Structure 1
Amino acid sequence: MKKTRLCYFLFFLGTIALGLLSRTIKDIPLFIGDMLYAVMIYFMVHFLFPKAKTRTIALVSLLACYAIEILQLYQAHWIVNIRSTTIGHLILGQGFLWSDIVAYTFGIGIVFIIESFLKKPTDSL
């Protein structure tokens, strides 16, 4: 169990690094960073709930991403101040975009398919 949690924590950190790197290279489309954000959330949820089913992890992650994106429609002064900080901007984003919802869906969909494929027991001959 500890080994699994460590793996997901390392995947979480690695995804953060890739996401930040994707924002510094101008030739990488912005949606890649948004997809990586969703994948990071997926790995964080998996780290927090290692015994949960992959389908549940994907659903919770997707709902968290959607909630964070919808929260960007809320523009109270206090949360705008938080978003103006580097960490606040990275975690909470800046403004609602439908394209981010699509990117989150694809990011979590891809990692869910890959993990489901890797976890599937192989049929013995």
Structure 2
Amino acid sequence: MGCAAAAAGVIGAGLFVHGLAEGPAGDIAGDGLYAVLIYALIACALPRARSVAITVSAALVCAAVEFAQLTGIPHALGQAFPPVHLVLGSGFDPRDLVVYLCAVAVAAALDAGVRSRWTARPEKAEGALPEESAF
């Protein structure tokens, strides 16, 4: 699956969870999908980047967005245009940082698994770029 298709699937799942799930379970699922989306978007933007670079970048972006919520700016932007809350959130929650790290780690593990399967296939190995992200 290409990174754009993966990102679109994650967005769809995130919107589904946002519309359906409520409470802490919905928040955790949404935060996890958000982190996976960030991983996929970075993988799309930097297709030759190594998984570790994508992983660290995704974790840093997620943490930056979460810490930005301490400023109140994302909340104010969301008051003016509510969909901004889906991208920037509205209030700092330290639990989100843990969820982001776990979700990015899962995305990296899935990416590594897909890469290893891709390069293990003899008909693909010759033209494959093992350092290229599977997302």
Paired position in structure 2 for 1:15: 10
- Select the residue among 102, 106, 110 that pairs with 2:102: 106
Deviations 1:43-64 (A, max 9, x none): 0000100010011001101100
1:46-85 maps to which residues of 2 (within 5 A)?
A: 46-76=43-73, 79-84=74-79, 85=81
CA distance in 2, matches of 1:109, 1:67: 17
- Select the residue among 95, 102, 110 that pairs with 2:91: 95
Higher mean displacement: 36-45 or 19-28 = 19-28
Deviations 1:77-123 (A, max 9, x none): xx533122222111110100011101101111101011112212449
Paired position in structure 1 for 2:36: 39
- What count of residue pairs does the alignment treat as equivalent? 117
Counterpart amino acid of residue 33 in structure 2: L
CA distance in 2, matches of 1:90, 1:17: 13
Residues 75, 54 of structure 1: CA spacing in aligned structure 2 closer, same or farther, 3 A cutoff? same
Gaps of 5+ in 2: 123-135
CA distance in 1, matches of 2:49, 2:60: 16
CA distance in 1, matches of 2:76, 2:121: 55
Secondary structure, aligned partner of 1:86:
coil
Deviations 1:10-49 (A, max 9, x none): 1111101101101222368120110000000000000100
CA distance in 1, matches of 2:121, 2:11: 35
CA distance in 2, matches of 1:45, 1:26: 27
Counterpart amino acid of residue 6 in structure 2: F
Counterpart amino acid of residue 32 in structure 1: A
Gaps of 5+ in 1: none
CA distance in 2, matches of 1:8, 1:50: 9
Counterpart amino acid of residue 18 in structure 1: A
CA distance in 1, matches of 2:114, 2:92: 34
Percent identical:
26
CA distance in 2, matches of 1:123, 1:26: 39
CA distance in 2, matches of 1:60, 1:43: 11
